[in-house]
Amino acid sequence: MSDLNSLIMEQLQWFVGGVILLILILLVMVLTQGAKLRKMRRKYDLMMEGSGVENLETLLIDLKVQMDSIEDEQEQQRQSLGVLLAKLQQVKGQIGMKRYNAFSDQGSDLSFSLAIVDEKKNGVVISALYSRDSSYVYAKPLAAGESKYALSPEEVEAINLALQQG
């Protein structure tokens, strides 16, 4: 047993020196981490200074609520846009006009056919026939580019002109 005690006594200085070295390394690490933490705390305080919020968690929760509100509003706008696009396709915005002389023996190019259609070729064709003695106006409905009434070549040309605009 005395041999073991003498062995421990011989190595004790190295053991104590190693423990002291380990304590110094840990002390340096604690001081370094403390400095980093103080620096991060200053940056956090600087960031939060003008926000009027007490902590970052409250700020993040407020931002999440705002984001949810924005997403809800955006979805409503998408739905409204879809409704508007559907209505826009039904707007009779394509117009074609063909002027012509309905009665070749009299008058000039005062007669006309006017086609007003939407993207689905639904709409109306209005024809006005002019002569020196009288004028006539006809309106014919269109569904898919066709009418249940007979179309004159000028009316067909007016429809084609309107469809070329789309």
Same domain, 99 and 155: yes
Beta strands in 52-143 (DSSP E): 94-100, 111-117, 123-130, 135-142
- Please check whether residues 86 and 99 belong to one and the same domain: no
Same domain, 83 and 99: no
Q: Are 112 and 152 in the same domain?
A: yes
Same domain? 2 vs 41: yes
Q: Flag the least confident range among 59-68, 102-111, 143-152.
A: 102-111
Q: Identify whether residues 15 and 46 lie together within a single domain.
A: yes
- Cα–Cα nearest to 120, from 144, 141, 147: 144
Is 102 found in the same domain as 79?
Answer: no
Whether residues 143 and 121 share a domain: the answer is: yes
Number of domains making up the chain: 3
Task: Write out pLDDT tens, residues 33-42.
Answer: 999 999 999 8
Checking if the pLDDT of 46 tops 90, the result is no
Residue with the two structure tokens 């070329």: 164
Q: Which domain holds residue 59?
A: 54-90
104 pLDDT above the threshold of 80: no
pTM for the model: 0.48
| 128 and 152, same domain (yes or no) | yes
